[in-house]
């Protein structure tokens, strides 16, 4: 009834009612989801908005409109419209192709199959057909298609395990339990199920749910988050479950946590828009100069130009003349730029897709550029935000090493490159090749080593002290565990000959080297983050009372008996394990007397019945008996990294890319992974912000900023670690700026226990505060927000959950592929795109400023020197470049002009005209800009030769054909016969060689002098490639950059002199403690495992 009151107190409009077995009355949103940019109906308006938000396209639309005004355009009505239509069509086709791929990816998700109960029978339907109110059946290993309320399960107590790492990043499994009123439901009862569920409306909170189940003829029952299974979670260790769908599609909690898909534009595109606006201002200046020139010309030559037949200037408006000159010079802005970039970027995307170095053979997945608009952004990334679970790690844990009685075992299993290659192939390879591998342990046990008894007790403890449940399937035994650490330990013991075989409600049985031993389980002292340990009290086969415990070194060591041995040795080994990034647990035990146990048991029963603060009372009770431990040793579990993660992170850090790890997992786990992947070092001080109030957070942040002093804002060899709860206070307006400054002063930042929206918020804050290019990479649904928020989003593909991939800009199968994606493809794309833009500006300024020079000799009449369609087709086939282009345009006009200054008589008595000069100049421009492209080319191949020499030949062939089109085709009558007179003129061929050489000789000399006297590192590498030199000789420029880097080091090296006043700074060596286990579940761990009886054979019953 409490839930009902909560519902009534909430916004009534958000309360929804779901009727059971009455589909007609349940009218809610569909279960299909879409990550595409366009639909059939939204494509045209949204695409046109995107295109005309680009300055160049908007400008050419403006020119096209002006050209339709009668007697204004000197270049015709359609010379701009046609190229613009071609550009929009090509860009539209590219957008359609890319969005079609997104629709196909969405289709893979929406067309997955699931089983629902409809019309009194089970039916197989697609995910997109699931509706609110459906009863869904899911089997072990399946992902859930919608948010649903659990009503029944195959497991005892109607429980089930779900993996939520796809939503919150946590590696431990969660337990959900159905209501007792529905726990026994089978197929026969489903058809008669009637009633309704009232619950809160859709929201983004994963850990909350308020609802009430009304079954006809029964009292209302409260439904909470412990009965809810969310879309995107995976059913684990459970044969089947039944659930009633409550939220579908965009109303699921997963989709509620996603942000609106932004329309991303690259930084280069934004800069290009600014440059185009500057060129537009230049165009206006040229138009005004021409208008002034026209006035002055007519005033000075008005009586001498009667043959032109111009009207008095008084009849002309200044605005009309400006429009004429704007249209005349409008091609100064390259209409071809955008379509050229579209084609270049599309080909670059194909290169990414085809790269065999980013081909993951494990599941035959290639890298995929889901959009080509952001290719060049990859080469400018300064901040990288990475998820942990499934992105840096493989979600697989194995026992790697251990220390028993002061002796370390497992050194023989150090990683090698060969093993790493095997590990990256498949999860099974990790299990087989990456586990504990040291025969010395069993040799010491079997050969009567002095530590034999310690070894036996150590292995026995790990087989008994856990919450794992064994299941037999024929001759095989599989283990169900909510804790991946416990599963790894039990499997590791099995490999060593100590096999956990049977669990009953009151005992566990192990097989130690072929001999069975049964331990009576008296009590389970549950794990919690505050306790950092878990214990079991058992009666051994010999009748002794013994307490086994495993936990963090800090809590175990303070409870050790004075008689405990190997304390210093074990501590040294723990530090060694931590340096390798392994997850450590200390192992200890103590013997109890009957009197001690009975006294404690009375205290325990009393604490179990306390009404207020029962959990705290139980933990205090546990503490009274967990003492006087005898240390046995410690374990070291490896949370397997993906292949080459440490090397990739080191390379990216060396490339001056800052890396932040954003995870929903526990802090200890994130820290261990950070050490394992070399993001953190043991000598690096760590600022840990774990505060429960705004005042405490503000004080810690301000104190650390004050302690850093002048080092604030510099990159220091310092790590910042913060949890999601503290982050809420850190983003308060009073603290936000100081916190961001502190975070940006650290070499590494780890943010733990974050919600999906917090991940996106961090990316957004850094993006706005720094103004640098950001990249986010992840593999789960909880990473979608930050992937969408970052300038560039990268999804890890190949996993069953495709939400991250479907919302990303680029998809790769392994984190290590980022190295080539950013440092090779990204750098090359950025370099090539910027060069392409500058070259487009250059070639247009070269050709169209010639019109300005021609205006000086044609009386500023608005006459064009080139044939109008040649002007438009020139484009269809920054400041240094523009200055260079102005010089070239000057040479290209005035040299041919002076060459033909005194006119000439051709064969047959024909004289030359303005178009004769124009064709001279146009040909020289084509040759010059093509050769200029050759000078800018760094790598020559057959395609470069085809493009450069082919362009020149194509123009000459086109010129020849175009001169004979009229009158067969009524186009360009003034061009008739031009090829005959131009190509036969000796002046033309003389200028064909001289003019381009005069234009480019200075560029060639400058490039040669620069590369000889002050060559870049790139030039040195190119020389090595040409000479096949194996030894690297650093050029002067690179040596200078290295020296500069060294000069910066002393500032950061002053960090050791900084005295941190705040207790949040930890300079101690890490011990590596980490343990994942379900806390505060719907039922306690003790209740859960006491409900299992492995002696009873489970049938594979089906519904």
Q: Has 583 been labeled as part of a binding site?
A: yes
437 and 519 belong to one structural domain? yes
Do 401 and 506 fall within a single domain?
Answer: yes
Is 765 domain-assigned?
Answer: no
Residue that finishes a domain, picked among 219, 247, 275:
247
1031 is in an annotated binding site: no
Q: Does the residue 945 lie in any domain? A: yes
Question: Which are the catalytic amino acids?
Answer: 387
Q: Identify whether 510 is part of a domain.
A: yes
Q: Is 890 annotated as a binding residue?
A: no
Q: Is 665 labeled as ligand-binding? A: yes
Do 273 and 415 lie in a common domain?
no
61-77: average pLDDT: 75
State yes or no: pLDDT of 181 exceeds 60: yes
Q: Please check whether residues 849 and 966 belong to one and the same domain.
A: yes
Any idea what DSSP says for residue 825? I
CATH number at residue 6: 2.70.150
C-alpha 888/C-alpha 875 separation (Å) is 18
DSSP 425: T
pLDDT at position 1022 is 67
pLDDT tier at 175 (50, 70, 90 boundaries)? confident
Residue 618 lies in a domain: yes
Q: Is 486 annotated as a binding residue?
A: yes
- CA-to-CA distance for 636 and 649, rounded, in angstroms? 23
User: Are 975 and 893 in a shared domain?
Assistant: yes
Q: Is residue 92 part of a domain?
A: no
Which domain, by its residues, includes 21? 2-30+131-247
Least trusted range by pLDDT, from 477-481, 555-559, 628-632: 477-481
Residues 588 and 461 in one domain: yes
| Ligand-binding site membership of 753 (annotated) | yes
Cα dihedral 324, 325, 327, 328, rounded to 10, equals 120
Tokens matching residue 142? 């399946």
pLDDT in tens, 887-934: 777 888 778 888 887 766 666 666 677 788 888 888 888 888 888 888
527 is in an annotated binding site: yes
Closest CA to 808 of 816, 217, 394, 798: 798
- pLDDT digit string, tens, across residues 670-679: 888 888 888 8
Q: What percent of the chain shows pLDDT beyond 70?
A: 83
pLDDT in tens, 79-126: 778 878 887 888 888 888 888 888 888 888 899 999 999 888 899 999
- Summarize pLDDT for 406-459 with one digit per residue, the tens: 999 986 544 434 334 444 444 444 444 457 888 889 899 888 889 999 999 999
C-alpha span between 1074 and 532 (Å, rounded): 9
**pLDDT band at 883, cuts 50/70/90?**
low
Of 986, 1001, 1016, which residue constitutes the final position of a domain?
1001
Mark whether 243 and 283 lie in a shared domain: no
Q: Where does the pLDDT of residue 526 fall: very low under 50, low under 70, confident under 90, or very high at 90 and above?
A: confident
DSSP 713: T
Asked if 914 and 842 sit in the same domain, the reply is yes
What is the pLDDT confidence band of residue 289, given thresholds at 50, 70 and 90? confident
370 annotated among ligand-binding-site residues: no
Grade residue 405 by pLDDT with cuts at 50, 70 and 90. very high
Same domain, 519 and 492: yes
State yes or no: 550 annotated in a binding site: yes
Q: Is residue 348 a contact partner of residue 372, using CB atoms and an 8 Å limit?
A: yes
Give just the sign of the alpha carbon dihedral 205, 206, 208, 210.
positive
The answer to whether the beta carbons of residues 748 and 719 sit under 8 Å apart is yes
Confidence of residue 338 (pLDDT cuts 50, 70, 90): confident
Those residues with Cβ within 8 angstroms of residue 832's Cβ, 6 or more apart along the chain or in another chain: 344, 348
Q: Does residue 180 sit in the same domain as residue 322?
A: no
pLDDT at 417: 40
Contact yes or no for 37/99 (Cβ under 8 A): yes
Q: Is 281 found in the same domain as 233?
A: no
- Find the angle CA(379)-CA(381)-CA(382) to the nearest 5 degrees: 135
The Cβ of residue 548 has, within 10 Å, a number of other Cβ atoms equal to: 26
Q: Please give the structure tokens belonging to residue 690.
A: 């774990």
Alpha carbon distance 383, 381 (integer Å): 6
Q: Is position 541 within any domain?
A: yes
779 labeled binding residue = yes
- Of 139-153, 750-764, 927-941, 1075-1089, which range is least confident? 1075-1089
1025 within a domain of the structure (yes/no): no
In the numeric block, which tokens belong to residue 385? 């935000």
Do 524 and 536 contact (CB within 8 A), yes or no?
yes
| Residue 1041, pLDDT above cutoff 60 | no
Residue 482 sits in a domain whose CATH number is 3.40.1110.10
Domain end point (choices 247, 279, 302): 247
Banded model confidence at residue 303, pLDDT cuts 50, 70, 90: low
Has residue 643 got a pLDDT over 80? Answer: yes
- Please give the mean pLDDT across all residues of the chain: 81
Are 549 and 401 within one domain? yes
pTM: 0.75
Average pLDDT over every residue of 564-578 = 90
3-state DSSP assignment of residue 67: helix
- Domain count of the chain? 3
3-state secondary structure of 733: coil
In angstroms, the CA 76 to CA 61 distance is: 15
Long-range CB contacts (< 8 A, 24+ apart) of 345-349? Answer: 345/372, 345/373, 345/375, 345/376, 345/829, 345/833, 346/94, 346/372, 348/372, 348/375, 348/825, 348/828, 348/829, 348/832, 348/833, 349/375
Q: Is residue 651 part of a domain?
A: no
């Amino acid at each position: 009834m409490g839930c009902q009151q909560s519902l009534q107190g909430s916004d009534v409009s958000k309360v929804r009612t779901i009727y059971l077995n009455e589909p007609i009355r349940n009218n809610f949103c569909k279960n299909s989801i879409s990550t595409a940019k366009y639909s059939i109906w939204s494509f045209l308006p949204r695409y046109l908005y995107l295109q005309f938000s680009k300055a160049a396209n908007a400008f050419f639309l403006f020119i096209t409109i002006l050209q339709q005004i009668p007697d204004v355009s000197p270049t015709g009505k359609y010379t701009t419209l046609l190229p613009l239509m071609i550009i929009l069509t090509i860009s539209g086709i590219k957008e359609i192709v890319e969005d079609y791929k997104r629709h196909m990816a969405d289709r893979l998700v929406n067309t997955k199959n699931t089983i629902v109960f409809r019309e009194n029978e089970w039916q197989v339907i697609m995910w997109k057909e699931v509706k609110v109110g459906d009863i869904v059946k899911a089997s072990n290993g399946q992902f859930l298609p919608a948010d649903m309320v659990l009503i029944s399960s195959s497991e005892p107590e109607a429980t089930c395990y779900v993996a939520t790492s796809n939503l919150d990043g946590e590696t431990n499994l969660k337990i959900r339990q159905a209501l007792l009123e529905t726990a026994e439901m089978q197929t026969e009862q489903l058809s008669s199920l009637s009633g309704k569920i009232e619950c809160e409306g859709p929201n983004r909170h994963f850990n909350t749910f308020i609802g009430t189940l009304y079954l006809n003829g029964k009292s209302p029952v409260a439904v909470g988050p412990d009965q809810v299974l969310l879309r995107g979670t995976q059913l684990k260790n459970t044969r089947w479950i039944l659930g009633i769908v409550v939220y579908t599609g965009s109303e699921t909690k997963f989709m509620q946590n996603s942000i609106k898909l932004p329309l991303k534009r690259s930084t280069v595109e934004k800069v290009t828009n600014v440059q185009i606006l500057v060129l537009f201002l230049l165009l206006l200046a040229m138009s005004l100069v021409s208008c002034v020139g026209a006035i002055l010309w007519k005033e000075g030559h008005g009586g001498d130009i009667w043959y032109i037949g111009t009207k008095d200037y008084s009849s002309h408006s200044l605005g009309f003349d400006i429009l004429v000159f704007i249209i005349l010079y409008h091609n100064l802005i390259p209409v071809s730029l955008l379509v050229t970039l579209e084609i270049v970027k599309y080909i670059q995307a194909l290169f990414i897709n085809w790269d065999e170095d980013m081909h993951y053979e494990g599941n035959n997945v290639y890298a995929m550029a889901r959009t080509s608009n952001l290719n060049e952004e990859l080469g400018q990334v300064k901040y990288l935000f990475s998820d942990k679970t499934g992105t840096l790690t493989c979600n697989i844990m194995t026992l790697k090493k251990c220390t028993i009685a002061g002796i370390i075992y497992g050194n023989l299993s150090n990683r090698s490159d060969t093993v790493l290659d095997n590990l990256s192939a498949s999860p099974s390879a990790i299990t087989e090749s990456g586990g504990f591998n040291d025969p010395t342990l069993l040799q010491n046990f079997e050969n009567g080593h002095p530590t034999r008894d310690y070894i036996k007790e150590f292995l026995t403890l790990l087989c008994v002290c856990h919450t794992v449940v064994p299941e037999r399937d024929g001759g095989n035994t599989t283990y169900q565990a909510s804790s991946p650490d416990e599963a790894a330990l039990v499997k590791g013991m099995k490999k060593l000959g100590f096999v956990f075989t049977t669990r009953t409600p009151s005992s566990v049985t192990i097989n130690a080297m072929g001999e069975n031993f049964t331990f009576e389980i008296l009590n389970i002292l549950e794990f919690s983050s505050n306790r950092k340990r878990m214990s079991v009290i058992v009666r051994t086969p010999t009748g002794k009372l013994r307490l086994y415990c495993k936990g963090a070194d800090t809590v175990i060591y303070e409870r050790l008996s004075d008689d405990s041995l190997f304390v210093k040795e074990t501590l040294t080994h723990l530090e060694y394990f931590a340096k390798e990034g392994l997850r450590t647990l200390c192992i200890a035990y103590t013997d109890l007397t009957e009197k001690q146990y009975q006294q404690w048991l009375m205290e325990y029963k009393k604490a179990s019945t306390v009404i207020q603060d029962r959990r705290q009372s139980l933990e205090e009770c546990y503490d009274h008996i967990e003492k006087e431990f005898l240390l046995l040793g410690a374990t070291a579990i490896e949370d397997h990294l993906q292949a080459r993660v440490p090397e990739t992170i080191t390379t990216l850090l060396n490339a001056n890319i800052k890396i932040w790890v954003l995870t929903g997992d526990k802090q200890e786990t994130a820290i261990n992974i950070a050490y394992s992947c070399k993001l953190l070092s043991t000598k690096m001080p760590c600022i840990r912000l774990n505060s429960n109030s705004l005042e405490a957070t503000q004080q810690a942040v301000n104190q650390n900023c004050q302690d850093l002093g002048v080092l604030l804002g510099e990159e220091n060899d310092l790590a910042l670690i913060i949890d999601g709860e503290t982050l809420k206070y850190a983003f308060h307006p009073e603290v936000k700026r100081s916190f961001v400054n502190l975070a940006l002063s650290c070499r590494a930042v780890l943010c733990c226990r974050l919600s999906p929206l917090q991940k996106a918020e961090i990316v957004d804050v850094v993006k706005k505060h720094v103004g640098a290019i950001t990249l986010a990479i992840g593999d789960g649904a909880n990473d979608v927000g930050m992937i969408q928020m970052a300038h560039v989003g990268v999804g890890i593909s190949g996993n069953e959950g495709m939400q991250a991939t479907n919302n990303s800009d680029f998809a790769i199968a392994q984190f290590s592929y980022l190295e080539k994606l950013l440092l090779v493809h990204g750098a090359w794309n950025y370099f090539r795109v910027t060069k392409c833009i500058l070259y487009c500006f250059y070639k247009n300024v070269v050709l169209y400023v010639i019109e300005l020079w021609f205006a000086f000799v044609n009386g500023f009449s608005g006459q064009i020197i080139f044939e109008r369609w040649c002007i438009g087709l020139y484009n269809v086939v920054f400041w240094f470049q523009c200055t260079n282009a102005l010089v070239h345009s000057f040479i290209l006009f005035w040299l041919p002009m002076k060459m033909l200054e005194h006119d000439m008589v051709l064969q047959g008595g024909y004289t030359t005209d303005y178009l004769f000069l124009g064709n001279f100049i146009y040909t020289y421009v084509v040759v010059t800009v093509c050769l200029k492209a050759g000078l800018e080319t760094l790598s020559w191949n057959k395609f470069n030769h085809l493009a450069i020499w082919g362009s020149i030949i194509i123009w000459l062939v086109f010129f020849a054909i175009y001169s004979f089109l009229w009158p067969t085709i009524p186009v360009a009558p003034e061009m008739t016969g031009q090829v005959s007179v131009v190509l036969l003129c000796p002046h033309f061929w003389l200028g064909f060689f001289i003019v381009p050489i005069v234009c480019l000789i200075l560029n060639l000399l400058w490039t040669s002098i620069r590369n000889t006297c002050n060559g870049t590192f790139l030039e040195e590498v190119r020389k090595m490639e040409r000479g096949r030199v194996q030894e690297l000789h650093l050029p002067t420029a690179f040596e200078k950059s290295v020296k500069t880097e060294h000069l910066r080091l002393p500032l950061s090296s002053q960090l050791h002199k900084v005295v941190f006043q705040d207790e949040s700074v930890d300079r101690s060596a890490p011990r590596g403690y980490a343990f994942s286990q379900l806390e505060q579940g719907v039922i306690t761990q003790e209740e859960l495992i006491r409900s299992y009886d492995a002696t009873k054979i489970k049938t594979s019953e089906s519904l």
